[in-house]
């Protein structure tokens, strides 16, 4: 088991980066579903960011009034009046900004939770439509990580990163216009600082992003491993596998630690560098502004739109209040730009999470071209089958014929044939070769063979969990590919070797076999298979709540509930995959009596290692490496003295 886990979670596994366009697809999805809310958020966010950014112009007006008041250009009263007007206007702007900020934060919180709710619904709905192959090839914990870590990364992106980025971009653009308005020469110095910030962000932020993507995938691997270890903890302890399990975990955890260290190392390096670029930019502007004053003896030349609007020319004097205002704007510009880099990590992690979620949503669903459906019918005095909406004990295949537009009804009998079937879980490895069998209504067909011989694979093909590569499977003389999968599976009762119980009452776990079954039908099914005696001894009988996959029941009791679930389905075909493998000999005798009654009049496929349970089978098929090498009833196969005889007499055992 440790080998299996370590292979699945190997650090050397290929890390697939998110597809290009993931962020664009995410934004498009947001706008498609929540356009009014997003527009409201954007408008409020724009007003809030603009109100905050324009404070630089108002401060410049205050500095200007104070400077003109001191040098006599304005009287003291005129200067104070201008300062008071500016402060009141600034207060109004800030108030509007605060109100808009409250609005977009509240709407943003509602939008985020609605989006995550809808996304989880889409994921779960898609998961129900995926083929069994998807779950066979992906760790359960890794799938769970999409519902937890990846959706949480999306939450942070939508609720924090995107609004912060939008606000920052609006603020930066506004600051650029204000600085261009005030002084073009000083703005050129800001451009130099901006180029440096962008280069640093691209270099260091790009490396940080690479490792944050790897971190997101490593978290999924670790959760997958932990989930498997929790489910298999009894096996781990029974076989004293604790050290090996810890070694495998340390390997996966070490990989996560390594990529996280690198991601955070580059991330933590980015902000201080950008902050110090801002400090250097602050000094540079102070130096340039001071140098202009010194060189021009206090009448420094300034090129700006402010001069154009006031004098009709770009050329004017670089006044002291402009330099002071510009220093504050430059400091804010650097800090605001740094906030963009600070959000890069969240954006990257969210894109990685969104990429994994979109991979799930883009998985090809289980295809079903079937058009033959299972319906309830009644039989009139002439033997004609008539479809009815009421539940009856008589079922038929409703077969619409496209050629002439007619509909025929074929009584559900349980007649199954496989003709020269080949199958492989992938094209390079065929596991079934030229398999043919004939199961007549009411017959009990048993499969015997070593592990991996193909016994369970045959039953998976009957359920169409997988589709055959070649050959034909016919059900009541209808090609199985023409039958809709839900109708096909409704006609099959199945008891798996691995029992799955759900967090619900015992009654509802039995009712899972047929959701419209009454309490009386569930109880009758439990009595039929011998489960009623232990159920009535539970604290609340049939209303006892089961949790943790029925952890408060014995393995045999769980298996009995699984058999009762199949019994309540009342299907004409039963598949018993090692149905009594988890039941002791005494309990098996009780169950065997119930299952014998359950199997009366039904076509039954039995997979069993205990040959004593299949001696009464009508046909026993011995499989070896995906081929049927012997077939016949117990007496015939014993007489042949072949593989079955050797298995039965213990000449050699099943692997």
Mean pLDDT of 624-630: 90
Inform me whether the pLDDT recorded for 246 exceeds 90: no
Domain span at 426: 416-649
Residue 368 falls inside a structural domain: no
- The CA-CA-CA angle for residues 342, 272, 269, to 5°, reads 75
The verdict on 215 and 323 lying in the same domain is: yes
Q: Indicate the pTM of the whole model.
A: 0.71
Tell me the two tokens of residue 184.
Answer: 């073009």
Phi, psi of 492 (to 5 degrees): -115, 125
The verdict on 524 and 636 lying in the same domain is: yes
Give the integer Cα–Cα distance in Å for 31 and 78.
51
Query: What's the pLDDT score for residue 138?
Result: 82
Residue 344 falls inside a structural domain: yes
Query: What's the pLDDT score for residue 4?
Result: 37
Mean pLDDT of 506-535: 88
Residue 455 falls inside a structural domain: yes
Inform me whether the pLDDT recorded for 11 exceeds 60: no
For residues 594 and 561, is the Cβ–Cβ distance under 8 A?
no
Query: What's the pLDDT score for residue 588?
Result: 67
Tell me the two tokens of residue 475.
Answer: 């059900």
Give the integer Cα–Cα distance in Å for 466 and 432.
12
448-468 pLDDT, tens digit per residue, is 888 778 888 888 899 898 888
Inform me whether the pLDDT recorded for 299 exceeds 70: no
**What is the percentage of the chain residues whose pLDDT exceeds 90?**
15
Query: What's the pLDDT score for residue 522?
Result: 92
- Residue 10's pLDDT band (cuts 50, 70, 90): very low
The verdict on 110 and 248 lying in the same domain is: yes
The verdict on 382 and 437 lying in the same domain is: no
CATH of the domain at 455: 3.40.50.300
Q: Mean pLDDT for the chain?
A: 81
The verdict on 206 and 297 lying in the same domain is: yes
Residue 65 falls inside a structural domain: yes
Give the integer Cα–Cα distance in Å for 549 and 503.
7
For residues 559 and 479, is the Cβ–Cβ distance under 8 A?
no
The verdict on 528 and 405 lying in the same domain is: no
Tell me the two tokens of residue 576.
Answer: 């018993």
301-359 pLDDT, tens digit per residue, is 777 777 666 666 667 667 677 777 788 888 888 778 777 766 777 787 788 888 889 98
Residue 641 falls inside a structural domain: yes
The verdict on 243 and 151 lying in the same domain is: yes
The verdict on 211 and 267 lying in the same domain is: yes
Total domains in the fold of the chain:
3
Residue 5 falls inside a structural domain: no
22-51 pLDDT, tens digit per residue, is 888 888 888 888 889 989 998 998 888 888
* Residue 415 neighbours by CB under 8 Å, 6+ apart: 439, 440, 441, 475, 476, 477, 603
Query: Which pairs from 202-205 meet CB under 8 Å and 24+ separation?
Result: 204/266, 204/269, 204/270, 204/273, 205/266, 205/270, 205/341, 205/344
Inform me whether the pLDDT recorded for 297 exceeds 80: no
The verdict on 458 and 340 lying in the same domain is: no
Give the integer Cα–Cα distance in Å for 11 and 35.
41
Helix 320-362 and helix 162-182, axial crossing angle in degrees, nearest 10: 150
Q: Where are the alpha helices (DSSP H) in 54-150?
A: 55-71, 76-129, 132-136, 140-145
Tell me the two tokens of residue 259.
Answer: 């990529």
Instruction: Name which of 375, 350, 434 is nearest 152 in CA terms.
Output: 350
Sheet holding 478-479, edge to edge: 429-439, 416-426, 470-475, 478-479
- Residue 421's pLDDT band (cuts 50, 70, 90): very high
Most confident of 15-29, 51-65, 71-85, 99-113: 99-113
H/E/C letters for each residue in 221-286? HHHHHHHHHHHCHHHHHHCCCHHHHHHHHHHHHHHHHHHHHHHHHHHHHHHHHHHHHHHHHHHHHH
Instruction: Look at 55 and 103; give whichever has higher pLDDT.
Output: 103
559-590 pLDDT, tens digit per residue, is 888 888 888 888 888 888 766 665 666 666 66
Give the integer Cα–Cα distance in Å for 160 and 148.
18
The verdict on 475 and 528 lying in the same domain is: yes
CATH of the domain at 43: 1.20.1560.10
Inform me whether the pLDDT recorded for 370 exceeds 50: yes
- Residue 593's pLDDT band (cuts 50, 70, 90): low
Inform me whether the pLDDT recorded for 371 exceeds 50: yes
Mean pLDDT of 426-442: 87
For residues 41 and 163, is the Cβ–Cβ distance under 8 A?
yes
Residue 181 falls inside a structural domain: yes
In the numeric block, the tokens 């309490």 are attached to 519
Residue 15 falls inside a structural domain: no
Instruction: Look at 309 and 217; give whichever has higher pLDDT.
Output: 217
Mean pLDDT of 417-424: 91
Helix 320-362 and helix 22-53, axial crossing angle in degrees, nearest 10: 160
The verdict on 469 and 320 lying in the same domain is: no
The verdict on 276 and 378 lying in the same domain is: no
For 566, other C-beta atoms within 10 Å of its C-beta total 26
In the numeric block, the tokens 């129900």 are attached to 128
**What is the percentage of the chain residues whose pLDDT exceeds 70?**
86
- Residue 542's pLDDT band (cuts 50, 70, 90): very high
Burial of 652 per CB tally in 10 Å (0-12, 13-18, 19+):
exposed
Instruction: Look at 527 and 312; give whichever has higher pLDDT.
Output: 527
Length of the chain (residues) = 655
3 state SS of 503: coil
Q: Report which DSSP code applies to 366.
A: P
Mean pLDDT of 241-270: 83
3 state SS of 464: coil
466-515 pLDDT, tens digit per residue, is 888 889 999 999 999 999 998 998 888 888 777 788 888 999 999 988 88
170-213 pLDDT, tens digit per residue, is 888 888 888 888 888 888 888 888 888 888 877 887 787 778 77
Query: What's the pLDDT score for residue 541?
Result: 92
């Amino acid at each position: 088991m440790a080998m299996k886990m370590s292979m699945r979670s190997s650090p050397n596994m290929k890390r697939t980066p998110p597809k290009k366009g993931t962020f664009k697809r995410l934004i498009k999805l947001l706008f498609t579903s929540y356009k009014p809310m997003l527009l409201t958020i954007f408008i409020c966010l724009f007003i809030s960011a603009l109100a905050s950014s324009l404070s630089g112009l108002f401060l410049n007006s205050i500095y200007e009034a104070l400077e003109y008041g001191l040098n006599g250009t304005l009287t003291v009263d005129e200067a104070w009046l201008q300062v008071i007007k500016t402060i009141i206007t600034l207060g109004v702007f800030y108030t509007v900004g605060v109100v808009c900020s409250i609005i977009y934060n509240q709407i943003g919180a509602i939008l985020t939770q609605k989006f995550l709710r809808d996304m989880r619904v889409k994921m779960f709905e898609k998961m129900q439509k995926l083929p069994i192959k998807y779950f066979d090839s992906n760790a359960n914990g890794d799938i769970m990580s999409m519902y937890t870590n990846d959706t949480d990364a999306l939450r942070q992106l939508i609720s924090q990163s995107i609004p912060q980025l939008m606000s920052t971009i609006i603020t930066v653009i506004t600051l650029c216009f204000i600085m261009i308005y005030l002084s073009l020469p000083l703005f050129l110095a800001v451009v130099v600082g901006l180029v440096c910030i962008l280069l640093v962000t691209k270099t260091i932020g790009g490396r940080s992003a690479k490792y944050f993507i790897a971190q997101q995938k490593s978290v999924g691997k670790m959760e997958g491993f932990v989930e498997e270890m929790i489910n298999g903890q009894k096996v781990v302890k029974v076989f004293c596998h604790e050290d090996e399990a810890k070694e495998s975990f340390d390997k996966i955890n070490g990989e996560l630690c390594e990529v996280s260290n690198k991601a955070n190392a580059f991330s933590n390096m980015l902000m201080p560098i950008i902050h110090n670029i801002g400090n250097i930019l602050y000094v540079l502007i102070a130096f340039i502004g001071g140098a202009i004053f010194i060189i021009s003896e206090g009448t420094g030349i300034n090129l700006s739109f402010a001069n154009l609007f006031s004098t009709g020319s770009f050329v004017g004097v670089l006044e002291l209040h402009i330099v002071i205002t510009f220093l504050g704007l430059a400091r804010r510009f650097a800090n605001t730009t740094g906030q963009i880099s600070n959000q890069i990590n969240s954006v990257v992690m969210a894109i990685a999470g969104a990429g994994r979620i979109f991979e799930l949503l883009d998985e090809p669903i289980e295809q079903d071209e079937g058009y033959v459906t299972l319906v309830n019918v009644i039989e009139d005095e002439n033997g004609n089958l008539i479809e009815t909406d009421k539940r009856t004990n008589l079922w038929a295949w409703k077969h619409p014929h496209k050629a002439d537009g007619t509909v025929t009804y074929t009584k559900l009998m349980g007649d199954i044939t496989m003709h020269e079937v080949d199958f492989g879980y992938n094209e390079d490895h065929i596991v079934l070769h030229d398999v043919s069998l004939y199961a007549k209504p009411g017959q009990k067909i048993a499969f015997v063979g070593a592990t991996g011989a193909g016994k369970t694979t045959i039953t998976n093909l009957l359920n169409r969990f997988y589709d055959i590569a070649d050959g034909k499977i016919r059900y009541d003389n209808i090609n199985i590919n023409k039958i809709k999968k839900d109708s096909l599976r409704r006609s099959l009762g199945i008891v798996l070797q691995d029992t799955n119980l759900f967090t619900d009452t015992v009654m509802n776990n039995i009712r899972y076999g047929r959701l419209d079954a009454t309490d009386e039908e569930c109880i009758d099914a439990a009595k039929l298979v011998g489960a009623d005696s232990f159920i009535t001894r539970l604290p609340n009988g049939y209303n006892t709540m089961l949790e943790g996959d029925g952890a408060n029941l014995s393995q045999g009791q769980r298996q009995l509930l699984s058999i009762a679930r199949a019994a309540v389905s009342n299907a004409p075909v039963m598949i018993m995959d090692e149905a009594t493998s988890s039941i002791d000999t005494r309990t098996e005798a009780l169950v065997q009596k119930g299952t014998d009654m359950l199997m009366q009049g039904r076509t039954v496929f039995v997979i069993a290692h205990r040959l004593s349970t299949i001696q009464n089978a009508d046909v026993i098929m011995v499989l070896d490496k995906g081929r049927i090498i012997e077939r016949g009833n117990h007496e015939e196969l014993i007489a042949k003295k072949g593989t079955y005889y050797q298995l039965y007499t213990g000449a050699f055992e099943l692997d």
